[in-house]
Amino acid sequence: MTFERENVRRMAGYVPGEQPRRAVAKLNTNENPFPPCDAVLATLAGIDGEMLRRYPDPTAWGFRTAAARLHGLTPDHIVATNGGDELLRLALTTFLPPGAPLGLAEPSYSLYPVLAAVHDSPLCPVPLADDWSVPADIARQWNRAGARLAILVNPHAPSGRLTAAQELAEVARTFKGVLVIDEAYIDFVDPGIAHDTIALVREADNVLLLRTMSKGYSLAGLRLGYGIGSPGLVSPMLSKTKDSYNVDVVAQRVGETALRHNWEAAERWAFVREERSRMARELSVRGLICAPSQANFLLATMTSRPPGTARRLLRELADEGIFVRWFDQERLRDSLRISLGRAAENDALLAAFDRLLPQPS
Ligand SMILES: *Cc1c(COP(=O)(O)O)cnc(C)c1O
């Protein structure tokens, strides 16, 4: 006898990347390789028992004000969430009617279909082009299927490819539902690329941006993210569908400090970008071709090697304490997704490839 709802009984859960207790190089879950900045650690040390005794501010006013200031918006454009993942769940709860499909691009973050299954919603997955670009008619395909909510991850996961803001604006204009742009990796985009999606929020009332403190701000363990959208999109989540106290007092305080000191995090982003170029070069020398990435990871594809090589490498690297990610998914089985770590971790990975990979034939 099972008491689960039918859709829950049928579905498989999300499989998170491994969190090994010890690793030579942990390059499997796109965490920031550096600790949070000193100001953040000082705020954390200042949390006292009296703060914990009381309920947190249900609206996360201080954090939302800091986020609004950073983006040149007012706080009614911001909703704080228990990690970016909670914002995704809230978007389904708030904007996707029962029976309407969730629009997706394929492949992308494997949590999206899991959330749709929990919500008992069908999917409208549109395959990305060979270079992982978004097909020009994606919004029309979603509209035809009756999708009322769609999610695009940009920079794309797991390839790291960046879709230009103008292209996203066109998708948003054409799509008849709410477009979530999952910007989990936006902090790592080269500042030389003028990529302004905040302007999109000002122009389009159906665009909801996802931001997270997990990657850019080295706070994956804190569980804090936020949504940016027009007040009309944000308000029902703030006042109706989120848990009353969805973000705890520690996350609110620490997160506010992190945003107010964001230039310190930005120094780490610059380092990650340099390692990204270096690793893409070094990997290509070893016959692993990387899609152009604007994120803190590379999708490295095995060329001229027998099928199954990527999967074998995943295991052999793990035996050496080096953790990367492999996806048992169409179009991804010949690739490894490699998070950018500290220079020594990245070097350890390259040295392991030199030992484990025969020269390309
Ligand atoms: C990491 C990530 C998120 C959000 O993660 P949280 O830790 O819940 O903030 C959202 N989307 C993608 C694609 C991610 O990689």
- Token couple for 122: 């069908």
Instruction: Identify the segments of the chain with pLDDT beneath 50.
Output: none
Question: CA-CA distance, 210 to 226, in Å (whole number)?
Answer: 6
Two tokens at 11?
């579905």
- The tokens describing 354, both together, are 């030199």
Name which residue sits closest to atom 13 of ligand 1, judged by CA: 109
Residue nearest to atom 1 of ligand 1 (CA): 184
For ligand 1, atom 11, which residue shows the shortest CA distance?
184
Of 271, 274, 224, 268, which Cα lies nearest the Cα of 246? 224
CA of 45 to the centre of ligand 1 (A): 26
C-alpha of residue 85 to centroid of ligand 1, in Å: 6
pLDDT of res. 360:
56
* Residue corresponding to tokens 């950073």: 70
The three-class DSSP label of residue 180 is strand
Q: Which residues contact 292 (CB under 8 A, 6 or more apart)?
A: 160, 161
Distances (CA, A) of 198 to 74, 250, 326: 12, 27, 33
- Give the closest residue (by CA) to ligand 1 atom 14: 184
Query: Could you report the per-residue pLDDT of 277-315, keeping only the tens digit for each?
Result: 999 999 999 999 999 999 999 999 998 888 899 999 999
Given the structure tokens 């989990």, which residue do they identify?
A: 184
Angstrom distance (rounded) from CA 337 to CA 91: 27
Q: Which atom of ligand 1 is nearest to the CA of 212?
A: 9
Nearest CA to ligand 1 atom 4: 84
Q: If we measure between CA atoms, which residue out of 218, 308, 321 comes closest to residue 271?
A: 218
- How does strand 178-182 pair with strand 207-212? parallel
For 125-165, write each residue's pLDDT tens digit. 999 999 999 999 999 999 999 999 999 999 999 999 999 99
pLDDT of residue 255: 98
Give the closest residue to 236 by CA, choosing from 124, 91, 132, 126. 91
In order of start, what are the domains of the chain with their CATH numbers? 6-34+264-356 (3.90.1150.10), 38-262 (3.40.640.10)
Q: Which pTM value belongs to this model?
A: 0.97
Ligand 1 atom closest to 109 (CA): 13
Q: How far is the CA of 86 from the centre of ligand 1 (A)?
A: 9
Provide the 3-class DSSP secondary structure of residue 274. helix
Rounded CA-CA distance 332/320 in Å is: 23
Task: Give the tokens for residue 232.
Answer: 């009309």
DSSP class of residue 214?
A: S
Q: Name residue 186's amino acid.
A: I
What whole-number distance in Å separates Cα of residue 246 and Cα of residue 224?
10
Taking CB atoms and a 6 Å cutoff, what residues make up the pocket around ligand 1?
30, 83-85, 109, 153, 157, 182, 184, 212, 214-215, 220, 225
Q: Which atom of ligand 1 is nearest to the CA of 157?
A: 13
Task: Name the residue at shortest CA distance from atom 2 of ligand 1.
Answer: 184
Q: Which helix (H) or strand (E) holds 174?
A: helix 165-174
One-letter identity of residue 217: Y
